[in-house]
A = this chain, B = another copy of it.
Amino acid sequence: MDYRPEDILPSISTDNIIFGLDNRKLKVLLIRRNIEPFLGNWALPGGFVLYNEDLDMSARRTLQNMTGMSNVYMEQVYTFGAVNRFPDRRVVTVAYYALINYTLDNLKAGPDASDINWFDILELPDLVFDHQHILETTLEFLRAKVRTEPIGFELLPQKFTLTELQGLYEAVLGTVFDTRNFRKKILKMNLLMPLDETQVGVAHRAARLYSFNKETYHKLKDKGFTFEL
């Protein structure tokens, strides 16, 4: 997709940090640039903001172009505007992160990129510009947020086991939880609906499936409840 120069705000971009969970590993989507500067290097996906779109819309547009997904949890993190963060000219970038269901389907690199790939946050390649810094800042932000708001569920399929949930938090926070205590704590909140379903096709005792109940959360929140892990 190309845009006419007169439709583009020249000095403002949005960059996306798109997180996905792959088998207890937190991963982030990166693209390989096929334009100068830094042709061939890995970068956060992003693009310039258009005159007729909000910042949020700009970030969602990028995400949609790359993954085909539109109804996704996204949040603004921070704005990076050091004078020399971008070569040759001044570009201020607003960072957004997204939590999506990990997938390998439908990934498109987009017009400015030759490749797109998931990277484990513990094994990142070198990134262009200040993207390493942006990613680190966002990870800190996510780690703080995930502890105090029930957003982690966005990384899981609708139906999940308690072990998967625990693995998610361990991957994001880089810690280990005591299984019994974790279950007690999360179940006492009453945010999870136990389903009459269990895992299928596993070579061991099948775990019960749960789903997160957003409505219940909002009701509880209105009454003063705060999620805290």
Contacts and interface: CB of A to CB of B under 8 A. Distances in A.
A166 interface: no
A78 B76 contact: yes
Interface string A193-214: 0000000000000000000000
Interface in A42-62: 49, 51-55
A49 B94 contact: no
> Chain B CB within 10 Å — which of A10, A11, A55, A81 has the most?
A81
Contact of A90 (B51, B76, B92, B94): B51
A11 B83 CA distance: 15
A12 interface: yes
A9 interface: yes
A9 B11 contact: yes
A174 to B, nearest CB: 14
Contacts of A82: 54-55
B51 A79 contact: no
A12 B52 contact: no
B12 A49 contact: no
Interface in A108-133: none
Copies in the complex: 2
A163 to B, nearest CB: 28
Nearest to A144: B148
A52 B10 CA distance: 16
Contacts of A78: 76
Contact of A55 (B10, B52, B76, B79): B79
A10 B51 CA distance: 13
Given A9-B11, A11-B9, A11-B12, A81 B52 contact: no
A54 B83 CA distance: 5
A2 to B, nearest CB: 20
Interface of A: 9-12, 49, 51-55, 76, 78-79, 81-83, 90, 92, 94
Given A51-B90, A52-B83, 9 more contacts: A9-B90, A10-B11, A12-B12, A12-B81, A49-B81, A54-B81, A55-B79, A76-B78, A81-B94
